[in-house]
Chain A
């Protein structure tokens, strides 16, 4: 092209980037065994959990951050982070009426469907603000089905045997540096339990928001679906615009027993930093599910538009015979965003199947790596995987890489991998503009077309939101 049609000149406006003026109880920055004890005491945890946290903390101290990802991250000073921040409150509000109205306004601004809007949308919401779970809606209705949906800090008390049995059962404490840190200092998150044979009657959803300055967010989510159960769960994330980087190191564990299905969707819109790469969330997340029983199915769908750095590989351990793992992903890296993301599919059960569809979009100076592992264990007779990995580049300063690892120790297993890289061409944009679309809408149309297989996997209510988010995230990608 003669002119440099494509530039990253324009800054993007980050809509959820407001800072809320809510009084918070925060712990001074710093990390030690005392920090761990403080958090545990604050939550009135049983002895076993404190011991579990301390063990993780000691493991973490001996570990080093992973360096194999294609990410440039300045070293993080873990002593400068506050590990606990809670909106100030009297005694844990358990219904909407008791919640600080300012907090509710925050969620309203974010478009979180609390309150009546939740009823209309048929979505039950757990909202985690900084470190604590603020409110969980629809608990009574869900309880009629035997479904438990509550803050994990509460589940520790109300369902101790379940939490003790499953916590750390999929992601062990020493799994990786960030997971170990999370085990030591996790503050809250959601707990979901679907009893045998129950199809959860509504979408469950958690909104995470980091608000307080210098606060890390370490949430922990645990979902257990008993035999024949079904649940669809969605998490959404935002954070205010700040010049400092903020750390987010979450752990999500999913357990699907025989014939159970868990559909886990994420719309991640953490603050990505500004056009020059100042600020933004460091997102180091460990998500893993186990198809423990035969014919169990776990499906991860993620739309990742935010964060300055994303390090995330939602994975499936396909232990049950004929179990199914799916990973559908759209990730955007714009401006100076960096993402190293992908999945792991570990096939153990005979006849287990997995599908990976990854759509990476890079614009500006964004850098993105798809990193995926498909492992066929000797027991995985007749197992199969198919991976489709597509990259879309906007402009000439961004980069995309695909790093597939395939390890097969079972000759009858089949693994298929397809990868494409395309660039939005100036003549495509001109064509769409000539028909009346402005630049932004033209880019959004092409991007949504590129991602549609993945967007189709999102629950209806969120697909539209995700589409808009993609458009907003790429504003200014083409000048």
Chain B
């Protein structure tokens, strides 16, 4: 059975339709990459799956394990197995990184009817995973992302991913801002998690991550719709050709004004 199914999703923010009939299906242990021009709606898609309150779903459906997510709160979706690694993780001064992560883990476990993880076991787990993603011990004890560099924030997203163990990891440009070693470690960790059954939806602009962590399917997202899908080699072709072909082939899917002209 499909893990994630998105049917003909139309979603807006304010007056603008950002997703305009998007469909997608991700099975367990699959890795999907989503590529597309700036402003195409990639981050929007990620946030809508996670339940961001600013967007309105006008039609279509999103299901996880066959169950619609649309009426669920972000925290319910999280407990059901959705994780979003943010393109720009926010900082929250005063909130201790590890305390936050343990609170989050236990909130999810409580909701699933699982036993809470006690402080010593959690600390052991967190330290182990932090070493894997290359976050030093001092950093993980600081306030959440407070004063973290861009790359450190991304590593912190990876730490949270490995600790929270979702079914579906949506990683929005996890590769941007990462140095070469960090990128290798992200790929290695993702590979390990995938082998254990986790599925991935990777939003990326570059092949660097995809080379180290090859996707099963690559989708091209333009103008709020998936206009083309293919195997791992599609990413290479896109790198060579860009998205020009798609914008031209699908009139009105570029800038909003374009759309108005053709409507």
Of B14, B73, B83, the residue contacting A2 (CB under 8 A) is B14
Across the interface, which residues of A come within 8 angstroms of B71, CB to CB?
none
Chain B, residues 42-80, CB within 8 Å of chain A (1/0): the string is 000001001111100000000000000000011101110
Q: Are A430 and B74 in contact (CB under 8 A)?
A: yes
Pick 8 A–B contacts, CB within 8 A, sort by A: A426-B54, A430-B74, A434-B84, A435-B101, A436-B104, A441-B103, A445-B100, A449-B94
Across the interface, which residues of A come within 8 angstroms of B50, CB to CB?
434
Verify if B89 is at the interface (C-beta below 8 Å from A).
yes
Give residues 96-142 of B contacting A (CB, 8 Å). Answer: 96, 100-101, 103-105, 107-108, 111
Q: Residue on A with the closest CB to B88? A: A427
Of A1, A422, A433, the residue contacting B75 (CB under 8 A) is A433
Q: Are A434 and B92 in contact (CB under 8 A)?
A: no
Give residues 139-189 of A contacting B (CB, 8 Å). Answer: none
Verify if B196 is at the interface (C-beta below 8 Å from A).
no
Q: Are B104 and A449 in contact (CB under 8 A)?
A: no
Verify if A3 is at the interface (C-beta below 8 Å from B).
yes
Q: How distant is A427 from chain B, measured CB to nearest CB, in Å? A: 5
Verify if A437 is at the interface (C-beta below 8 Å from B).
yes
Verify if B180 is at the interface (C-beta below 8 Å from A).
no
Per the CB 8 Å criterion, the residue count for chain B at the interface is 35
Of A433, A441, A446, the residue contacting B74 (CB under 8 A) is A433
Given A5-B53, A431-B89; A438-B94 close (CB under 8 Å)? no
Bound-state Cα–Cα, A427 to B74, Å = 12
Interface residues of B (CB under 8 A from A): 13-14, 47, 50-54, 73-75, 77-79, 83-84, 86, 89-90, 92-96, 100-101, 103-105, 107-108, 111, 143, 160, 164
Interface residues of A (CB under 8 A from B): 1-3, 5, 422, 425-428, 430-439, 441, 445-446, 448-450, 452
Across the interface, which residues of B come within 8 angstroms of A436, CB to CB?
75, 78-79, 104-105, 107-108, 111, 164
Of A3, A432, A445, the residue contacting B54 (CB under 8 A) is A3
Main secondary structure of the interface of A (DSSP, over half): helix
Bound-state Cα–Cα, A2 to B47, Å = 14
Of B52, B105, B107, the residue contacting A430 (CB under 8 A) is B52
Bound-state Cα–Cα, A448 to B94, Å = 8
Q: How distant is B46 from chain A, measured CB to nearest CB, in Å? A: 10
Q: Are A435 and B78 in contact (CB under 8 A)?
A: yes
Q: Are B107 and A438 in contact (CB under 8 A)?
A: yes
Q: Are B54 and A437 in contact (CB under 8 A)?
A: no
Across the interface, which residues of A come within 8 angstroms of B13, CB to CB?
2
Q: How distant is A380 from chain B, measured CB to nearest CB, in Å? A: 33
Q: Are B90 and A435 in contact (CB under 8 A)?
A: no
Q: Are A450 and B94 in contact (CB under 8 A)?
A: yes
Q: Are A434 and B78 in contact (CB under 8 A)?
A: yes
Of B14, B93, B96, B100, the residue contacting A432 (CB under 8 A) is B100
Given A1-B54, A2-B54; A431-B92 close (CB under 8 Å)? yes
Given A2-B13, A446-B94; A430-B53 close (CB under 8 Å)? yes
Bound-state Cα–Cα, A452 to B99, Å = 13
Q: Are B93 and A434 in contact (CB under 8 A)?
A: no
Across the interface, which residues of A come within 8 angstroms of B104, CB to CB?
432, 435-437
Q: Are B96 and A449 in contact (CB under 8 A)?
A: yes
Given A445-B100, A445-B103; A435-B164 close (CB under 8 Å)? yes
Across the interface, which residues of B come within 8 angstroms of A426, CB to CB?
53-54
Across the interface, which residues of A come within 8 angstroms of B103, CB to CB?
437, 441, 445
Bound-state Cα–Cα, A102 to B86, Å = 55
Across the interface, which residues of B come within 8 angstroms of A439, CB to CB?
73, 75
Q: Are B54 and A425 in contact (CB under 8 A)?
A: no
Bound-state Cα–Cα, A364 to B78, Å = 28
Q: Residue on B with the closest CB to A422? A: B93
Across the interface, which residues of B come within 8 angstroms of A441, CB to CB?
103, 107
Across the interface, which residues of B come within 8 angstroms of A446, CB to CB?
92, 94-95
Q: Are A427 and B160 in contact (CB under 8 A)?
A: no
Across the interface, which residues of B come within 8 angstroms of A445, CB to CB?
95, 100, 103
Given contacts A435-B78, A437-B104, 14 further A-B contacts (CB under 8 A): A1-B54, A425-B90, A426-B53, A428-B90, A431-B89, A433-B74, A434-B50, A434-B77, A435-B104, A435-B108, A436-B78, A446-B95, A448-B95, A452-B94
Bound-state Cα–Cα, A441 to B73, Å = 14
Q: How distant is B152 from chain A, measured CB to nearest CB, in Å? A: 16
